[in-house]
Amino acid sequence: MFPLQRGRRLRTNESIRSLVRETIVTPQDFMFPMFIAEGTNVQEAIPSMPGMFRRSVDLTVKEVKELYAVGIRAVNIYVKVSNHLKDNAGTEAWNPNGLMQTAIKAIKDACPDMIVMPDVALDPYSIYGHDGIIENGVVVNDPTVDALMKMSVSHAEAGADFVAPSDMMDGRILRMREALDQSGFTNVGIMSYSAKYASAFYGPFRDALDSAPRADVEIPKDKKTYQMDYANRIEAVKEALYDVEEGADILMVKPGMAYLDIVREVKDAVNVPVAVYQVSGEYAMVKAASERGWLDHDQIMMEQLTCIKRAGASIISTYFAKEAAILLNK
């Protein structure tokens, strides 16, 4: 008689396991982060992120078409801005002919059904590498929000489907929503980085965009005055609820694997989709370990992506997106 319930019956073979599998990952779950550089026919490898590149707009468009062909339906785009265009106010961020605006237009012209979510933050445009404007050695909130409003409207004018503020300034979602609506862009959504932690996992990303805070001037040496303390959990839920009240359509938790408890907490607290960013450091660790033969690359890649979705993610922003989609399509 013992035991009546045998869990192993449902694990007997792959056919049974696939029949009762609770979490299914598909290419449509993925969003691919892309780095865009000035020039034409430019493809620069990012040494700390094997397999990732900074591409000029023309090669970005080519890559977007390939992504769409394997089932990926969203890209999150970032630009590497020339140093001579940087200032403290980030004014290049709302240049209608800027690199970001040009890239948005080119992607939407070439692949209209690809969802384009440009990053909204001042760090690529800042001479100081911070997400906001510096005054008296401090990253100031409200003047930065004013700049982010202009940036968001500029992205919408270029054709963005969503804007994706990653800056963590207070109150910016409400002001951006108002600015978009007043400019006639009521259908342009906002994917808010609601719980973006001050994490050491971002190192390779900052290499890709040259956006780390400068150490040679009297400014904050890190982003801890606006990004969240990684020791905190309740604060993430509070920030998520604020952003939903202010008009966010999608919430983002960043980083990914080390923060899956936060993903579940946020998912349980809100009634909007939750996205997760599996960040550059998490990607680089898998690449490095698999190159040394310490991990099976494809198995650990798919395990991590499945765990992110299992935790509650509706969207997974990951540098593995193309590789994983090709594997899934097989």
pLDDT band at 204 (very low <50, low <70, confident <90, very high): confident
- pLDDT above 80 (res 214): no
Q: What is the mean pLDDT of residues 271-284?
A: 96
pLDDT value at residue 210: 64
pLDDT value at residue 205: 79
- pLDDT above 80 (res 207): no
pLDDT band at 1 (very low <50, low <70, confident <90, very high): confident
- From the list 86, 105, 108, 196, the catalytic residue is 196
- From the list 223, 254, 287, 322, the catalytic residue is 254
Q: Which residues are paired to 45 by β-bridges?
A: 53
pLDDT band at 221 (very low <50, low <70, confident <90, very high): confident
Is there a domain that residue 3 lies in?
Answer: no
Is there a domain that residue 122 lies in?
Answer: yes
pLDDT value at residue 165: 97
Is there a domain that residue 11 lies in?
Answer: no
Number of domain units in the chain: 1
Residue with tokens 């001479």: 127
Is there a domain that residue 194 lies in?
Answer: yes
Is there a domain that residue 16 lies in?
Answer: no
pLDDT value at residue 185: 98
Annotated binding-site ranges for Mg(2+): 239
Is 105 annotated in the active site? Answer: no
Is there a domain that residue 175 lies in?
Answer: yes
Annotated binding-site ranges: 239
| Residue 104: domain span | 26-329
Q: What is the mean pLDDT of residues 173-201?
A: 97
pLDDT digits (tens, 9 = 90+) for 298-324: 999 999 999 999 999 999 999 999 999
Is the CA virtual torsion 36, 40, 45, 48 positive or negative?
negative
pLDDT digits (tens, 9 = 90+) for 123-180: 999 999 999 999 999 999 999 999 999 999 999 999 999 999 999 999 999 999 999 9
Is there a domain that residue 1 lies in?
Answer: no
pLDDT digits (tens, 9 = 90+) for 65-113: 999 999 999 999 999 999 999 999 999 999 999 999 999 999 999 999 9
pLDDT value at residue 238: 98
Is there a domain that residue 19 lies in?
Answer: no
Mean pLDDT (the chain, rounded): 95
The CATH code of the domain that includes 277 is 3.20.20.70
pLDDT value at residue 215: 58
- pLDDT above 80 (res 212): no
pLDDT value at residue 242: 98
3-state secondary structure the chain: CCCCCCHHHHHCCHHHHHHCCCCCCCHHHEEEEEEECCCCCCEEECCCCCCCEEECHHHHHHHHHHHHHCCCCEEEEEECCCHHHCECCCHHHHCCCCHHHHHHHHHHHHCCCCEEEEEECCHHHECCCCCCEEECCEEEHHHHHHHHHHHHHHHHHHCCCEEEECCCCCCHHHHHHHHHHHCCCCCCEEEEEEEEECCHHHHHHHHHHCCCCCCCCCCCCCCCCCCECCCCCHHHHHHHHHHHHHCCCEEEEECCHHHHHHHHHHHHHCCCCEEEEECHHHHHHHHHHHHCCCCCHHHHHHHHHHHHHHHCCCEEEECCHHHHHHHHHC
pLDDT value at residue 2: 87
Is 238 annotated in the active site? Answer: no
Proportion of the chain above pLDDT 90, given as a percent: 92
pLDDT band at 209 (very low <50, low <70, confident <90, very high): low
